[in-house]
Structure 1
């Protein structure tokens, strides 16, 4: 800030008139005081940038006034220039020891005072620049520390969320993560045909549920006042208390929220996919048991048929062997009958081979199904 306001303090009115004339020519705003006590009474309300302070004053010397000013935290930033008729080294050292920034000896000329004030004005500008740099550096440092802490929370959440396999547990983990950022939230998870709601306060209000219904398909991000709504296909999160007094923090937290909700969405999708696969596995296992039961029944029936055929052909063969010799048939007739009996038996044997092939086919199918369930697991 450029030098503008100066307070001149001297118990001699004539000296103040000279100072006022010089300062007015330099376009400074000037106020005067005729004693140290008056200076202390008006300095806080006037808030000068520089005080031209006479050293030798009755009741309260300039040194005492300077000490009082520099001891007050709200006034210590004011630059003090001592004005004295004596300029010995000892007196200058005394002035510096009580906190003064400069010293000018009476009588002084217009150009000397102007040069010193211009120098002090430059000091003020450099001081403002330095203070701003310090403030910026401090802000950057605190922002870096805050960001580091926030990233730590995010990393912890990412590491934790990958182990969660329950929808309700996932919602509670998200609520706790956002709570670490000082955020209060409402959550909707869309699981199959159900809509599950969770909240920092325990329950979502009806208006929040309606808001999820209206906005969940209307875009990724909605911001209104100090609230923000983030939408994904399976998950919507409404933050109720975004930081509104710090734009940088607001933007940083918004980015964190979008990332955290994205990670949660992916884990929710993973949970639902795994549950679907588990249900399909159960259904497949049930189907395999049913197929196995039917295969077993069918094979049992085929075995029974084979046994019955064998018994029938055996009885038939025994019957023909015992009766044909007594039937008075010639040799060609006997050969004809036995030939057809052998063909029927061979045909039955061929059917048994087909049954064996069916058994092998059933066994192979059952084996493949068992391997399929083992791979899925």
Structure 2
């Protein structure tokens, strides 16, 4: 469903006027609330898709309002974007910890707000498209959990990813593995200096992408409320719904997640290595084909030169055999000429032997290249 209904919540009327002015030309139904309690009262009748929620409000601040929205099954699906004059890492992490999907810092311009709302609208559309697929995948995951232990799921995952040869399929397998533990997650793969993102819901929210960027170099493990972020060099996984109320299970699942992410990174590196070797093999095969072509052209040219030399010397020898007896030369002169002709012919024969050696050397080089290509294929 496209984004149609937006609720703006702020205790300052001027701020609400600015939002109304920015959004007046957009195809949104916009309503406003001046406090947290008023916002919660309006949810049953208005049912907004996105709430622009001020953080600093008296009596009930934005964090408390967001907790109330996300803790209610009837309203937890509503997308919350915090609006605040402060944009520190701590502020953003607190916003994410209470369940917000995005964050915008005052003062903001029309372009920034409309761009964020457009992105959130696209996220809503993709969630609707993927909703049935997620439901089916979750049902399958729960069925698998009923018949298999946690370690069995991990072993099955390790065995299954060994045959995977592309990054998106590996990401899907990782998400499905997490689903087998009843975990929803976001995934970032860092491949060839680019970030690739995947999620149980089909798309990572903007605030999740910011957390990946901020925390990817800040240590291996981050835990906040029911969420846990595990970082490796090439893979980061953010789990959204760690088990609560059971410390032993929480710790066990946390250890499982760290191990699974580690194994996933090793398989990712194996995929990248195989892809690189495959590219090198293609490059080598192309170089071998080019060298073979040049060798054959060169050998053809040398062979043609040899045949032309043979024809020239044969014709020259025949001419001498016909003309010398008629030239009236004495025996020493005839012998001198014959010796020089014979010497030239012998030099031609020597060049032909050298050509044979060149052919043999080229054949050995060709065999060495073929053997090298075969060794690369084996690896």
Normalised TM-score (structure 2): 0.59
- The worse-fitting range, judged by mean Cα deviation, of 166-175 and 225-234 is 225-234
Deviations along 1:187-238, one digit per CA (max 9) or x if unpaired, are 1112223321110000111222222222222222122222111111221111
Residue segments in structure 1 that go unaligned for 5+ positions in a row: 1-144
Name the counterpart of 1:232: 232
Compute the displacement of 1:325 (Å): 1.3
Name the counterpart of 1:212: 212
Compute the displacement of 1:345 (Å): 0.9
- The worse-fitting range, judged by mean Cα deviation, of 297-306 and 322-331 is 322-331
Q: Does 1:176 find its partner at 2:176?
A: yes
Aligned counterparts of 1:310 and 1:239: Cα–Cα separation in 2:
81
Name the counterpart of 1:343: 343
Name the counterpart of 1:133: none
Name the counterpart of 1:4: none
- Count of residue pairs the alignment pairs up: 232
Aligned counterparts of 2:328 and 2:231: Cα–Cα separation in 1:
99
Compute the displacement of 1:275 (Å): 0.9
Aligned counterparts of 1:162 and 1:306: Cα–Cα separation in 2:
57
Aligned counterparts of 1:238 and 1:267: Cα–Cα separation in 2:
19
Aligned counterparts of 2:212 and 2:324: Cα–Cα separation in 1:
93
Deviations along 1:240-292, one digit per CA (max 9) or x if unpaired, are 11123222111111100000011111111111111111111111111111111
Residue segments in structure 2 that go unaligned for 5+ positions in a row: 1-144
Matches within 5 A, 1:263-282: 263-282=263-282
Aligned counterparts of 1:330 and 1:217: Cα–Cα separation in 2:
99
- The worse-fitting range, judged by mean Cα deviation, of 189-198 and 356-365 is 189-198
Aligned counterparts of 2:217 and 2:325: Cα–Cα separation in 1:
94
Compute the displacement of 1:314 (Å): 0.8
Aligned counterparts of 2:235 and 2:278: Cα–Cα separation in 1:
22
Matches within 5 A, 1:190-339: 190-339=190-339
Aligned counterparts of 1:180 and 1:152: Cα–Cα separation in 2:
11
Compute the displacement of 1:160 (Å): 1.2
Compute the displacement of 1:375 (Å): 2.5
Deviations along 1:313-355, one digit per CA (max 9) or x if unpaired, are 1111111111111122111111111111111111111111111
Q: Which runs of 4+ in 1 moved over 6 A?
A: none
Q: Does 1:362 find its partner at 2:352?
A: no
Matches within 5 A, 1:77-226: 149-226=149-226
Aligned counterparts of 1:337 and 1:218: Cα–Cα separation in 2:
91
Aligned counterparts of 2:283 and 2:307: Cα–Cα separation in 1:
36
Instruction: Say what the alpha-carbon RMSD is for the aligned residues.
Output: 1.7
Deviations along 1:150-179, one digit per CA (max 9) or x if unpaired, are 112111111211121221111111101111
Name the counterpart of 1:9: none
Deviations along 1:63-94, one digit per CA (max 9) or x if unpaired, are xxxxxxxxxxxxxxxxxxxxxxxxxxxxxxxx
Name the counterpart of 2:132: none
Compute the displacement of 1:305 (Å): 0.4
Who wins on radius of gyration, i.e. which is larger? 1
- Name the SS for the 1:242 alignment partner: coil
More RCO (CA 8 Å, sep 6+) = 2
Aligned counterparts of 2:211 and 2:361: Cα–Cα separation in 1:
59
